């Protein structure tokens, strides 16, 4: 089964105060760190919910403002249109991306137990998610996980979720200097 990589990046970054994806960690934008780590695991990567130079960009679906599930919905529809069987999702603001993320998640739907945006989702769920978004007031990943029966998979990675400039400074100290 061919898997599309999708970086969910449509958030407003209110706590960060500026463009989080473009924030530099050791001189490299966060988005590029994530893309470099994801690239060996999938044949194609898209950025969902925003534009990013040099990468295919996919809009949230059914519209912007649906949160991470709008990004997932856009990625699932794109994956179906391109013949992919599943989507491997990550956020643009969480590092490291495990080098064995796809393998570790196994069959989807599945998420990393401590980072629900790191997930593997069958592309066949595209219409189901779009209908769910139209009917449910709950826009949480947790609600969607429960609806689909997504498995929570343990992962040894020590994730750093970068939501503030202080978090970025902490990430520079905590993350492996060899981070891609």
Q: Distance of alpha carbon 72 from its chain centroid, rounded?
A: 8
Radius of gyration of the chain (CA): 15
Q: Does the annotation list 82 as a binding residue?
A: no
Q: Does the annotation list 176 as a binding residue?
A: no
Residue 8 and residue 91 in contact, taking contact as beta carbons nearer than 8 Å: yes
Q: Does the annotation list 138 as a binding residue?
A: no
- CA-nearest of 91, 60, 64 to 76 is 60
Residue 38 and residue 44 in contact, taking contact as beta carbons nearer than 8 Å: no
Helix/strand/coil for 140: coil
- CA-nearest of 72, 93, 95, 71 to 159 is 95
Residue 134: phi and psi, rounded to 5, are -70, -30
Q: Does the annotation list 23 as a binding residue?
A: no
Instruction: Tell me whether residue 47 is exposed, middle or buried, using C-beta atoms within 10 angstroms of its C-beta: 0 to 12, 13 to 18, 19 or more.
Output: buried
Q: Does the annotation list 100 as a binding residue?
A: no
Q: Does the annotation list 9 as a binding residue?
A: yes
Which residues are known binding-site members?
8-10, 20, 60, 93
- Residue ranges of the binding site for GTP: 8-10, 20, 60, 93
Binding residue positions for Mg(2+)? 93
């Amino acid at each position: 089964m061919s898997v599309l990589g999708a970086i969910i990046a449509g958030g407003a970054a209110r706590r960060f105060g500026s463009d989080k994806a473009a924030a530099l960690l050791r001189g490299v934008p966060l988005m590029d760190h994530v893309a470099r780590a994801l690239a060996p695991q999938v044949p194609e990567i898209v950025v969902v919910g925003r534009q990013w130079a040099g990468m295919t960009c996919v809009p949230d679906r059914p519209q912007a403002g649906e949160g991470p599930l709008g990004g997932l919905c856009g990625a699932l529809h794109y994956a179906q249109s391109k013949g992919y069987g599943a989507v491997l999702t990550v956020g643009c603001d969480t590092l490291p991306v495990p080098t064995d993320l796809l393998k570790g998640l196994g069959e989807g739907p599945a998420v990393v137990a401590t980072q629900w945006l790191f997930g593997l989702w069958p592309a066949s769920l595209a219409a189901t998610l779009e209908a769910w978004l139209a009917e449910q007031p709950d826009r949480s990943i947790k609600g969607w996980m429960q609806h689909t029966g997504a498995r929570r998979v343990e992962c040894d990675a020590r994730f750093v979720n970068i939501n503030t400039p202080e978090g970025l400074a902490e990430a520079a100290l905590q993350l492996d200097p060899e981070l891609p």
